[in-house]
Amino acid sequence: MLLQIEEPNPDTPPGLPLLRIGLRPFYLLSALAAAITVPIWIAVLLVPLPWPAAMAPVYWHAHEMIYGFAGATVVGFLLSASRAWTGLGTTRAGALGTLALLWLAGRVALFIAPYPVYAALDLALLPIVAAVLIRLLLSTGMRRNLPLAVIVLALALMNLVFHLAVLQWLVLLPPPSALHGALGLLVLMQGVMAGRVIPGFTISAARGTLRIAPLPWLDKACLGATAAGLAAWVAAPPAWSAWTAAVLLLAALGHALRQWRWRSRVVWQRPVLWILHAAYLWITLGLALLALAHLGWMPLSAGIHALGVGATGGLIIGMMTRTARGHTGRGLHTGAWEIAAYGLVLLAAALRVAQTLAPAQATTALLVSAAAAWSAAFAIYLWIYTPWLVHTRTDGRDG
């Protein structure tokens, strides 16, 4: 049998397909982190297993969901989107591979290196990404997107505060408050991006039958109230709880009004779009639950997990499927397994919030069920998308 050797295609972009655009390695790393770290956390919490790391397990769980899982998605999305925004080439090939390895080092070093070494590795990635974004945006005059780079820098700063607090080198905020601040920044970023993409996607899906007029004052008021309410949640003294609750409720109302204008009812035949609408609804719910917690009517964990699992997890899996399909040359028609993954993330959010309100005898079952649904969702993503993200586009183009 003769070995057939294909002639190289001059139109095929050079280099590993996995390292041609930021979302390829970082979406896979994000999904891997989501699928693995939650079962580890549940095992440590319930068995319990030995914990060799210097950081308390509860801090590790929250930190990895923010800076491991969500952080990888943010990096992958922004490195990819900035190419579309600016028309310039972004980090790729060896440089992109180095950033991916830096993310991986930040996950592993906690267990094998002294804590200061781990902290330095964990802190390095986001400032580099922010610098890349700022350079690209300033060189092309795309100042409209600079706030996203500023939020990335703020996430890096909050990570620094967290590590210094764990090391007891600085007590600006205790570790939980630093993580709450990071979650608040993610929610603010989601509010900015959702306000740009969800209405546009919805108009496109309606095929000329729908118009959503911009309302800049509502967007600014909503995002301003969100930033103020989340900042008060993180840093305001307990005596201000009623005022914090009022601002959070105002922000929740703003997001509800925003989404009402986006005509969510027209998208239910498009799973790749309804997941974004459904996840955005969790922002409204999460802010409202945080407000009720400040009034003493609800555990704080309910609002945290509504924002962290429902909003953040739902928007991430929605955008990871949509943008990965586009950048691998595939259409936006999701299959049954992808729809199942969407449903599992939303189910995980509902179960995790319900667990915070349930009687003691039901909490373990709800917690394990939520973790299983969450991990299964991102395992499905890895199963479907890994072959696509490590191979060239179906149309042979770069990206």
Please write the tens of the pLDDT for every residue from 113-155.
999 999 999 999 999 999 988 888 888 777 788 888 899 999 9
CA dist., res. 116 & res. 136, Å (int): 31
Lookup: tokens for 374: 């969450």
C-alpha torsion sign, points 20, 388, 380, 190: positive
pLDDT at 7: 33
3-class secondary structure per residue, 123-183: HHHHHHHHHHHHHHHHHHCCHHHHHHHHHHHHHHHHHHHHHHHHCCCCCCCCHHHHHHHHH
pLDDT at 398: 66
CA dist., res. 276 & res. 315, Å (int): 5
Q: Which residues of the chain have pLDDT under 70?
A: 1-15, 87-89, 92, 205-209, 264, 266, 398-399
pLDDT at 197: 84
The count of residues in the chain is 399
pLDDT at 88: 67
Spell out the long-range contacts of 172-178 with Cβ–Cβ below 8 A and sequence spacing 24 or more: 173/234, 173/235, 175/59, 176/59, 176/62, 177/234, 177/235
pLDDT at 2: 32
Q: Return the amino acid letter for 166.
A: V
**H or E, element range at 274:** helix 271-294
pLDDT at 8: 36
Lookup: tokens for 213: 């007029």
Domain 17-389, CATH? 1.20.210.10
Supply angle C-alpha 20, 26, 27, rounded to 5: 105
CA dist., res. 273 & res. 268, Å (int): 8
How many other CB atoms sit within 10 Å of the CB of residue 133? 26
The answer to whether the beta carbons of residues 210 and 202 sit under 8 Å apart is: yes
